[in-house]
Structure 1
């Protein structure tokens, strides 16, 4: 009897160990609900054939696409990132979806809200139309949304205020319109806000003053109204400010000019900037103040900015002579009223590309044509 008992006990231990081994060696898998949602998302995006039977997307780290998006399976712009730490490392949830430059012809999928753990969406450079779905406002984990260069339109939904953790929103190069919602001021985690090349109107809401973590603010090529807000000067972390043809007017507030972390200040096609601002940043790399109605001399401090590599002051009313210690690699001064003699030295021996055309410079008689210097009609003595 004891022999039978010990035999049964040994058999039980072996069977238990066998199934325990199977359980611990099994691979984690994407949650079934999210696998189903991927099919719905693909349909809305305009993907005609999505192969979900040939491997788990979390381990393929990509979507196997067909139809309108052929030959992109192995491109870095088509990938999925998952977190497989759920349910004792047995269940995966999608956290990031990148489908860039894949010629998607559909619409933005409201079904993305079914991916409960989704943090990043990048659908840049496609042919997507429609507006941002209100359903996205129920996705509290989102930190990154990039929808640039599509055919999206309509106003920005106020529901975007629910994205308390959003650090980047990029919708440039679309057809969005209307005012910027006041609720955007609640997105205090934003470090990047890119709204350029749309059809936005109205003034920038005062609530944006609360976006003190912004490092990038791009609103060029729009139809905004009003003046450059003073509160931008309180964004101490700001590194890039793009206001080209934004619709705003000057002047540039002194607090904005004093921002010390600015690496790119890009302003063009604006009125109300009558004199040269006092740019404090010593890390400025690209300074564009083109066609902004500035007059007076170019301040001497500009030529001593240590890392300035691109300077564009074209199409203003700048006067005076050039006292130069350093020529940025790309220097555009065309269309001003600058004068004085260009001496052989800094300019003529420079390896920089320099545009001095349409000014009133005089040149030494020994000057020869240089391929890196555009002097067309730059001299009142020789108009050739």
Structure 2
């Protein structure tokens, strides 16, 4: 070997030795740093694999990812139950780019030392117990950050679903120029959106919804080329939409802007070529719908209702055939419905009601296979409907238009058909067979002639029939009495003949046969004061009692009626004498006070029954009493039918003639429960009423109330039911929670008019034998006059601990009072405490908020028996959701739809 070759050889060998030594030094340094982090965290069980063993490769330890040279690049320790503060030793990992500590038990203030993690791009500290103020200089602390998640903590600065005091969005956040997600929903923010946020050009999601922001939407936001989600709804933003043309590279774009925006919708929105969802309803927008919307190939949902938009619906609105929902109601649109909507194969929902539309509906619209809901009320639309509507249509509302011709004969899945105030001239007999699932049929105020189809009784599901103000002749079909009708209006027609006695079998809550040519006697079963104004101006009709607008019967078989009246009078006298004797003999009175005379009771059913009122009345005994409430008692009654069916009967009694409140509660419950159907709402089978008592008959819920299972140890159970022998595990509690949320979500968002319960509490959530939850006790519920509009209630409603704060200072209440009450139920389920159990803080909700504001650990708020379970992360999420639902201001609370969406994420 030459001297020069020797030099080269030794230099190469030295370099290899130096490199090897350098790598070993780095590996040793990284490993020791990780061990130091473990020690600083108090050696948690989750980091058991982090060992000093020489055979242990730290790149294989829990949560560690390394680069090729052994540098730690990722530390992902989500859902590991790690406690304590974030150790500053983390930033000794110089190549660390991702730090994910989601859903642990980490406490302390925001770790500003993360500024020393110079390569950090992804940071997730959400769902922990951080407290204190977020630093306004986040751009300096995290200069290279691209993804930042801080939600569901106890910060008093910004970001979504933290329990903030009112505050502003810091201007400095605009320096986080690499940020891709900024989620600050429901953060109690106020003030304007700072212009500096327009510097965040890499944003893919911007969510500032459910806050108290005001001012305009900064125009620069529209220049974000990667933006996929822009959520600025449910705030108080105003002014015009100052759109800046942009070229969006994102695959789709969702824009939700429900505020107080004014001005017109920019035509240049058509440059948002990947716009898929646009919600601009509930604003003050004017002008036309941009023609450029027709050029958007991916536009699927367009919601523009409740504005002041004018002009015509763009002719090319469904040019590309991608629309699934078009909601344009409550504007001042004119012109006709464009033909392109008749060639819109993906369309599910079409709502154009309350506009000024004219002309015929495109024929193709009625045959689109996916169309399920069409609402066109209150326009000037004309033409005839086809004899057959497409099979999947479930709701068709075309009231107050100019439609004519014959009512369609077929629509197999149609549930609601409202076509009142049009020019229809006839009902085809085939309608009965062609619409077997009808629940509501309203053809009032048309020009319909001919007779009511004789087979109408085969519409077994029909609960409302309105054929009033037409030219219908002939007799009333007797088959109507065998239907499930609770509302029947045949007034202002040319009906003749006797009223069929079979109508007495129906259980109407509203009946109107006035202004016809009916004759004979009113059938005995409906010849009562309950229908005092149901038969007016039928000159050939007579009643055996004094009825408004109906003459008294005379002659003929009147003597039998007089004899009957004599017996009734004698019976009254005997009853009065008997009552006096009973008052004198108190002991005998108490023994007999629950004995009822079945002939004094009237049964109103809401579905087909296989028992009689006698079976129910005989079961109202002290032995069957299972509960007592403010308005009466609840009994468990086994009826004497073939199946030996078990029912729950609530007896509501009037203590005095002035007890109007109880009467109103009864009417409200009957009205609501008799008209809605949902698997998570208690099923009302029938009601039985007398002059001083009313019985509501429900399906029996074997496992009683949720209240009984959560708090049974603190009270004595009334009645024969056995006390719970076990506590509810978390999966069962979560299933109950989701079921109750489904019921309330249906009431608030899916009913034709929103229903507010006003008394949601754990004792009004009942459980069947499989612990399926059902909302019960609608005694103080109210049906809102219009969707989304508050109603003035006549009295303070609710129970202590569950009542929302606004109940104390206003009677204008909406669905958010139920959200508050449901939030209290969530707190009961997670803490085990009762709603009024807040110690020095009053209620449970106030107690929970106090603990959060003091920075206390949520873990210590959870019921002791559930703290060590594997589901603790879910339990704490539900606890936090309860906190959010019990916000002081109604506007800060989520909707029940939002609540259900969150809960379903944890449904196995």
CA–CA distance in 1 between the matches of 2:270 and 2:328? 19
Residue equivalent to 1:119: 204
Shift of 1:208: 3.1
- Taking a change above 3 Å as real, the CA distance of residues 252 and 11 of structure 1, as seen in their structure-2 partners, is closer
Report the 3-state secondary structure (helix = DSSP H, G, I; strand = E; otherwise coil) of the residue aligned with 2:189.
Answer: coil
1:157-214 per-residue CA deviation (whole Å, 9 max, x = no partner) reads 1215454547334344311111222321211111112222211112233333322321
**2:97 aligned residue:** 28
Q: Pick from 433, 445, 453: which aligns with 1:343? A: 453
Q: RCO (CA 8 Å, sep 6+): is it higher in 1 or 2?
A: 1
How far off is 1:111 after superposition?
A: 3.7
Q: Distance in 2 between matches of 1:367 and 1:346?
A: 7
Cα RMSD after superposing both structures: 4.1
| Large movers: runs of 4+ above 6 Å | 68-71
SS for the counterpart of 2:333 is coil
What does residue 375 of structure 1 align with? 488
- How far off its partner does 1:217 sit? 1.4
Deviation at 1:293, TM superposition (A): 2.0
SS in 1 for 2:302: strand
**2:419 matches 1:333:** yes
2:340 is paired with a residue of what secondary structure? helix
Quote how far apart the aligned CAs of 1:288 are. Answer: 0.8
> Where does residue 427 of structure 2 map in the other structure?
none
Q: d(CA) in 1 for partners of 2:71 and 2:161?
A: 36
- CA change 1:187–1:228 in 2 (3 A) is same
Structure 1 stretches of 5 or more lacking a match?
39-47, 75-91
Match of 1:84 in 2: none
Farther off after superposition, 187-196 or 23-32: 23-32
Corresponding residue for residue 83 of structure 1 = none
Question: Which of 24, 28, 35 is residue 14 of structure 1 equivalent to?
Answer: 24
Query: Which of 477, 481, 490 is the equivalent residue of 1:364?
Result: 477
SS of aligned partner of 2:392: coil
CA distance in 2, matches of 1:347, 1:160: 60
Once the two structures are superposed, the pairs formed by residues 87-106 of structure 1 within 5 Å of their partners are: 94-106=179-191
Shift of 1:262: 0.9
Is 2:322 aligned against 1:237?
yes
**1:62-88 CA distances to partner (integer Å, 9 max, x unpaired)?**
2635459999449xxxxxxxxxxxxxx
Which whole-Å CA distance do the structure 2 matches of 1:132 and 1:113 have between them?
A: 10
1:1-384 correspondence to structure 2 within 5 Å: 12=22, 14-19=24-29, 21=70, 23-24=72-73, 26=93, 27-29=96-98, 49-50=133-134, 62=151, 64-67=153-156, 72-73=161-162, 94-159=179-244, 161-163=246-248, 165=250, 167-278=252-363, 279=365, 280-302=367-389, 305-325=390-410, 326=412, 328-336=414-422, 337=446, 339=448, 340-343=450-453, 345=455, 349-351=459-461, 354=464, 356=466, 358-360=468-470, 363-368=476-481, 374-376=487-489, 380=493, 381=495, 382-383=513-514, 384=534
Q: Structure 1 stretch 116-125 or stretch 12-21: which is displaced more?
A: 12-21
Counterparts of 1:69 and 1:334 in 2: how far apart (Å)? Answer: 52
C-alpha separation in 2, matches of 1:199 and 1:124 = 18
Whose Rg is larger?
Answer: 2
* TM-superposition CA deviations, 1:120-157 (whole Å, max 9, x none): 12233332211111332442211221212221111111
Q: Secondary structure at the match of 1:274?
A: strand
CA contact (8 A) 1:335 1:359 kept: no
- The structure in which a higher percent of residues are helix is 2
What's the TM-score, normalizing by structure 1? 0.75
Describe the SS at the equivalent of 1:231.
Answer: coil
Separation in structure 1 between the aligned mates of residue 457 and residue 258 of structure 2, nearest angstrom: 38
CA contact (8 A) 2:457 2:480 kept: no
Q: Distance in 2 between matches of 1:164 and 1:124?
A: 24
Matched residues in 1 for 2:159 and 2:180: separation? Answer: 24
* Change beyond 3 A, Cα 1:112–1:379: same
CA–CA separation in structure 2 for the residues paired with 1:338 and 1:103:
56
Q: 1:276 to 1:354 in 2, by over 3 A?
A: farther
For the Cα contact (< 8 Å) 2:304–2:328, is it kept in 1? yes
Distance 2:453 2:371 in 1: 27
Following superposition, the deviation at residue 376 of structure 1 comes to 3.4
C-alpha distance in 2, partners of 1:161/1:358? 56
- Matched residues in 1 for 2:195 and 2:457: separation? 57
How far apart are residue 225 of structure 1 and its match?
Answer: 2.0
Count the aligned residue pairs. 350
